[in-house]
Amino acid sequence: MQLTINGQAQDLGDLDPEMPLLWALRDILGLVGTKYGCGVAQCGACTVWLDDNPVRSCQLTVGALAGRRITTIEGLGQDELHPVQRAWVEHDVAQCGYCQAGQIMSAAALLKRDPSPSMAAIESAMAGNLCRCGTYTRIVAAVQSAAQSLAQIDCYEVGESAQAAGDRGGAAV
Ligand code: FES
Ligand code: FES
């Protein structure tokens, strides 16, 4: 079975097509940035992109993903940090860090489809990503900061960086 992950074709061998994508990412491919939280689509810790949309990888089976593009936190900023990741660092968002990959993937997907989101749009987009450490205020500030950065730099090729890096044979971080 082959999947396209972070711009690279990955041969997953003779995998059970019913295996959740999250398992394949972490246990087969070693992409452990994506986290297991609840396993029932309630926490957002496992968020990755399917094509350009944030999805819960604990709920997708690998057999349903042929021909689709999957982007994980490792593929978001391969050559340099994605603007959302930079904003996360600037705002010192993470506390324990467990939820943060999922938060960043949801935030980056939001800014990809809505580069200047309202507060309501931010809250709506991030509502499915829970943080037990309560970093929500810093998350909103970081999303707003990233939106400002993106308004200054036409960098939404960054969103395609996984594909570009894959074309160059770049490795996931
Ligand atoms: S582990 Fe997938 S939503 Fe919680
Ligand atoms: S930073 Fe700890 S759960 Fe979000």
* pLDDT tens profile 140-159: 999 999 999 988 875 455 44
Per-residue pLDDT of 83-120, as tens digits, reads 999 999 999 999 999 999 999 999 999 999 999 999 99
Mean pLDDT for all residues in the chain:
90
In the sheet with 53-56, reading across from the earlier edge strand, the strands are 8-11, 2-5, 69-71, 47-50, 53-56
Distance CA 36, CA 162 (A): 22
pTM, full prediction: 0.88
Q: Which atom of ligand 2 is nearest to 97's Cα? A: 1
Tell me which amino acid residue 91 is: H
Q: What is the per-residue pLDDT for 152?
A: 82
Q: How far is CA 172 from CA 92, 110, 111, 156, 158, in A?
A: 23, 22, 22, 19, 14
Is 34 touching ligand 2 by the criterion CB < 6 Å? no
CATH superfamily of 83-158: [2Fe-2S]-binding domain (1.10.150.120)
Residues with a CB atom less than 6 Å from ligand 1: 36-39, 41-46, 56, 58
The radius of gyration of the chain's CA atoms, rounded to the nearest angstrom, is: 15
CATH superfamily of 2-76: Beta-grasp domain (3.10.20.30)
Distance CA 98, CA 151 (A): 29
Domain ranges of the chain: 2-76, 83-158
